[in-house]
Amino acid sequence: MDVRDLGEFGVIDRLRDVLGVSYESRLIVPIGDDAAVWHAGDTYMIATTDTMVAGVHFIPRAVPWGDVGWKSLAANVSDVAAMGGTPSFALVTLCLPPDTPVTAVDGIYQGLRECGREYGAVIAGGDVVSSSVFMITVAMFGEAERNADGSPALLRRDAAKPGDAIAVTGSLGAAAGGLRALQGDAPSGAARDALSRRHSRPRPRIDAGLAAVRAGLTCGMDISDGLVQDLGHICRASGAGAELLADSVPVDSVLTDAYPDDARAMALAGGEDYELILLGDEESLSRVGQALGPPLKIVGRMVEGDPAVRVLDADGAEVQLPRAGWDHLRDGSDA
Ligand SMILES: [Mg+2]
């Protein structure tokens, strides 16, 4: 059996079995959430890591190196946002083929610095190694908010209950539209630029994660692999089902104009928007919307039953999606 037979999430389950979960009392959130959380002195430390590989996550020279740097940090910032925390420091490992131009390294670090400044994350160190394939790994640390009693205020995947409303921040699908535009299926120039930017320079929702934990919400994650797939992780972690109303999902308006036939499916299944899914009672969700400005969009509800997502149309009939999200080990040969 190869790892491709298990898929990304099967491999993660296997690793979790080998480690065992509750072996360390200071570990508050173990493997299986957007980030790990542990108790360190006076703080609750959030830690996450993410890797981008040339040919898998981006096509070298098809995008500016600064965008590669921005996005590698932004993916990690988003996992901190997904826990309701604030980024602090990051470590960067570059795996470089020896013929990598120095200007590529400069460009990547410009992008890392720009994203770090935007979100208050400082690059504190890292490693540079020789490799046959170009890769960049970012490990990021952040701090959790605290409740009045001093306990950590976190958004977890395993805290959803039947009856909870499911909301999303912002609008979805633009990053998938940007990837499609970059791959050559291009709409007009202005739309292509707007969508490509959403793919190459995503803007993680630290503001929404903080507003959510301050409103008392305890369940959420970021949308990195697509709304349907990511909501499925919440279902499995929480042991409850989800009913998602396809017509309620906020579709990016530029995407709707550019790809009118596919926009809704791309908003449901496309990855890398880095918006947040937030769950809870409607009153708390509406407080989060008030804190942010634009209201959150309620897109469905948690239900009793199978821990899986059912996508429903306006008549309550189940919608079959062409493809539900991204698995890095099964789909990893795509670019
Ligand atoms: Mg995540």
For 96-152, how does the pLDDT look when each residue is reduced to its tens digit (9 = 90+)?
A: 999 999 999 999 999 999 999 999 999 999 999 999 999 999 999 999 999 999 999
Ligand 1 centre and the CA of 48: distance in Å? 9
Alpha helices in 183-262 (DSSP H): 189-200, 206-214, 227-238, 253-258
Element (H, E) at 71: helix 65-83
What is the CA(97)–ligand 1 centre distance, in A? Answer: 29
Specify which residues 65 forms β-bridges with: none
CA of 255 to the centre of ligand 1 (A): 23
Strands 122-130 and 86-96, bridge-based pairing: parallel
pLDDT at 237 (0 to 100):
96
Tell me which DSSP letter residue 252 carries.
Answer: -
- 36-40 and 43-53 strand pairing: antiparallel
What's the CA-to-centroid distance between 224 and ligand 1, angstroms?
A: 6
Is the pTM value of this prediction over 0.85? yes
Residue 332, pLDDT score = 56
Q: Average pLDDT, stretch 63-69?
A: 94
Query: pLDDT at residue 22 above 70?
Result: no
- Looking at residue 10, its pLDDT comes to 87
| Confidence band, pLDDT 50/70/90 cuts, at residue 251 | very high
Q: How far is CA 263 from CA 13, 167, 172, 223, in A?
A: 33, 19, 9, 16
The CA 153 to ligand 1 mean position distance, Å, reads 17
What does the pLDDT look like over 209-238, one tens digit per residue? 999 999 999 999 999 999 999 999 999 999
The CA 102 to ligand 1 mean position distance, Å, reads: 31
How far CA 15 is from CA of 21, 22, 32, 250, in Å, comes to: 10, 14, 10, 36
Structure tokens at 43: 């703080």
CA–CA separation, 335 and 330 (whole Å): 13
The model's confidence at residue 188, banded by pLDDT at 50, 70 and 90, is: confident
Q: How far is the CA of 72 from the centre of ligand 1 (A)?
A: 13
Question: How close is the Cα of 225 to the center of ligand 1, in Å?
Answer: 8
Share the mean pLDDT of the chain.
Answer: 92
Ligand 1: centre distance to CA 214 (Å): 20
Angle at 276 between CA 275 and CA 281, to 5 degrees: 145
Residue 191 CA to residue 183 CA, distance in Å, equals: 14
Q: Which residues contact 268 (CB under 8 A, 6 or more apart)?
A: 172, 173, 226, 227, 228, 244, 246, 249, 311, 321
Say yes or no to pLDDT of 333 above 50.
Answer: no
Given a contact cutoff of 8 angstroms between Cβ atoms, the answer to whether 270 and 175 are in contact is yes
